[in-house]
Amino acid sequence: MDTLLAAFSILDRWDVFLALLVGSIGGVLIGAIPGVGPAVAIAILLPATFSMDPIVGLTVLLGIYGSSMYGGSIPAILINTPGTAVNALTTYDGFPMTTRGEARRALSLAYSSSFFGGIFSVICLVLFAPVLAKVAPMFGSREIFLAALLGIILVVVAHRGQSLIAAALACFGILLNTVGLEPVKYSKRYTFEQSWLSSGVDLIVVVLGLFALSQAFYLLQGEDEKIRTTKLRGGLFQGLRELGRHPRVAGVSASFGVVMGMIPGVGEFTAQFLSYTYARRTSKRPEDFGNGSSEGLIAAETANNAVPAAAMVPLLALGIPGEALTAMMLSVFYVHNVVPGPQLFQNDMPFVVALYLALLILNVLVLIFLLFATNGLIKVVKIPNRFLGVGILTLSFVGVYSLRNSFTDCLIAACFGIFGFVLKRLSLPAVPIVLGMVLGGIMEVKLRAGMARVKQPWDFIDRPIAFILFVMILGVLALHIRYVLLERRAAKEEEWSAKKTSTGFGMQMFRRRSFLSEERGKRVREKRSKYSPRSTGPRSRH
């Protein structure tokens, strides 16, 4: 109880409430604009949050992170265009409901499901906070190194079909982190006698380039689309009642979101896929899924909104971000000398609880705002892409320059913007680069600290948690190798089957051609014999 009261005292400030309001409403607006997304907004706002108190800056970023998926459901349902990437599954059942004239019902159901998922996730984590406070001190340098390594491996294997390129990009991120002065003896690495490389490649510069500038370039090179929307009539409260008719789907989907959110590198997509698959398999009307099923919409929206609060667990307990957005938030901690990890749970537990309570309040504010402001938000969908691109480009360069008043940082950001644009056009992930930079630095420091007490290789995993993490790493790698082998075998079997089919088809065509040519020759001989003079006897020889 004392911890809870102390957490409320941290939030009992006018600037924190203003941050809650700006973050929640701003996140909804950003999510409702197709093509922007929370990553771009957080990247642009990062430089501004460095001058704020930790709780204020993190509350703004958490508000954008947690509420953007609420807004992303609006264009997904109304115009079949997801506002954020994680709202893609919402289009499966949301837009068919709109085509049937049930847009108001679909939006109400999406808001209610998102609210339930967010509240469920926060309550679970507040209840588990005492357990995390006891487990976190058991993580030493070796355990955190292995956890960071597991996080990178999970991020790589999560990109099915692109594992090799994801691994290469993660290694590139680790390489970028090694540029400049190394953290122990402060010797120069990969500077090539260039003074501007001595301070290293700044994470925020890379993030702004890869996410904000690349998205600006992508919007600028595209064409503006004419979007038609209709004004909604009636209230949006009926979704809360309809959600109560499917408690099993909502509860299981929220649980998937919590569990998947705590695993680095997994996130909303896996949670959505599992919850949607579960809902379809256990539904009495599985044929409705993809054609406007209320259960499918509940499963998708509940799962993705349960992830943000859960994703804060590895960040706060171990200092290990699970995705690009939490990696950006980690920089806010470091700027204010607040180090996430076991010590944070031991020494500043009220601060951790205050963050979870902020997420709880954010969900309430977002739901109230959406229930009364949806008709106005529909106009946000119509903003031209090129106008957005120019705005993002301007704000991004202003943010980069404000970091260190360096024109060199602007050039580096522009280079990474072009690189991110190329990755986007090739449908390749940029997230492994950011996580490689963040986790690479953690791994280097913890490995050096852990090796001081290691005399033999197996001493590195001689403690229970370290051994469990090592087994998990081996298990993930084994499962991924098995998946790759099975995929290659299936591809070979499909290729062999296609070849066999094509060979059989070729033989059939050859036989058909032979039969047709034989029939054609028979008809020609019959015609010739018909019109030629018949012989009446043996011909004389002269």
pLDDT tens-digit profile of 444-460?
Answer: 888 888 777 777 777 78
- Phi first, then psi: what are they for 520, rounded to 5°? -65, -40
More confident residue, 530 or 127: 127
| pLDDT higher than 80, residue 88 | no
CB 223 within 8 A of CB 94: no
CB atoms within 10 A of CB 456: 7
Cα 216 to Cα 391: distance, rounded to the nearest angstrom: 8
Alpha helices, H only, 323-463: 324-335, 342-347, 349-377, 385-404, 407-425, 431-450
pLDDT of residue 513: 56
* Contacts with 319 (C-beta within 8 Å, 6 or more apart), sequence order: 144, 330, 339, 340, 341, 442
User: Is residue 503 very low, low, confident or very high in pLDDT (cuts 50, 70, 90)?
Assistant: low
Cα 43 to Cα 397: distance, rounded to the nearest angstrom: 11
Q: Which of 162-176, 347-361, 506-520 has the lowest mean pLDDT?
A: 506-520
User: Is residue 419 very low, low, confident or very high in pLDDT (cuts 50, 70, 90)?
Assistant: very high
Average pLDDT, integer, range 509-534: 54
More confident residue, 35 or 77: 77
Q: pLDDT averaged over the chain?
A: 77
Percent of the chain exceeding pLDDT 70 equals 82
Token digits of residue 278: 């579960």
CB 31 within 8 A of CB 38: yes
Cα 409 to Cα 419: distance, rounded to the nearest angstrom: 15
CB 339 within 8 A of CB 112: no
pLDDT of residue 537: 42
Cα 311 to Cα 270: distance, rounded to the nearest angstrom: 13
User: Is residue 518 very low, low, confident or very high in pLDDT (cuts 50, 70, 90)?
Assistant: low
pLDDT tens-digit map of 288-339:
777 778 888 888 888 888 888 888 877 777 777 767 777 777 777 777 777 7
DSSP string, 88-130: TTHHHHHHHHHHTT-HHHHHHHHHHHHHHHHHHHHHHHHHHHH
Using the CB atoms, write b or e for 306-325: b if 16+ within 10 Å.
Answer: bbbbbbbbbbbbbbbbbbbb
Cα 214 to Cα 314: distance, rounded to the nearest angstrom: 28
| This prediction's pTM | 0.70
Specify the long-range contacts of residues 161-164, CB closer than 8 Å, at least 24 apart. 162/428, 162/429, 163/480, 163/484
| pLDDT higher than 60, residue 227 | no
Cα 505 to Cα 160: distance, rounded to the nearest angstrom: 34
pLDDT of residue 352: 80
Instruction: Look at residues 441, 393, 394 and name the one whose alpha carbon lies nearest to residue 420.
Output: 393
Q: Give Dmax (Cα) for the chain.
A: 133
Percent of the chain exceeding pLDDT 90 equals 2
| pLDDT higher than 70, residue 535 | no
Q: Which of 200-204, 380-384, 450-454 has the lowest mean pLDDT?
A: 380-384
CB atoms within 10 A of CB 394: 12
3-state secondary structure of 249: helix
User: Is residue 512 very low, low, confident or very high in pLDDT (cuts 50, 70, 90)?
Assistant: low
Cα 414 to Cα 210: distance, rounded to the nearest angstrom: 9
* Contacts with 190 (C-beta within 8 Å, 6 or more apart), sequence order: 175, 178, 179, 180, 197
Residues pairing with 181 in the sheet: 188
Average pLDDT, integer, range 104-120: 85
CB 96 within 8 A of CB 296: no
Cα 98 to Cα 94: distance, rounded to the nearest angstrom: 7
| pLDDT higher than 80, residue 37 | no
Token digits of residue 513: 């051609």
| pLDDT higher than 60, residue 540 | no
pLDDT of residue 385: 73
pLDDT of residue 224: 61
pLDDT of residue 520: 58
User: Is residue 418 very low, low, confident or very high in pLDDT (cuts 50, 70, 90)?
Assistant: very high
pLDDT of residue 133: 67
* Contacts with 134 (C-beta within 8 Å, 6 or more apart), sequence order: none
| pLDDT higher than 80, residue 117 | yes
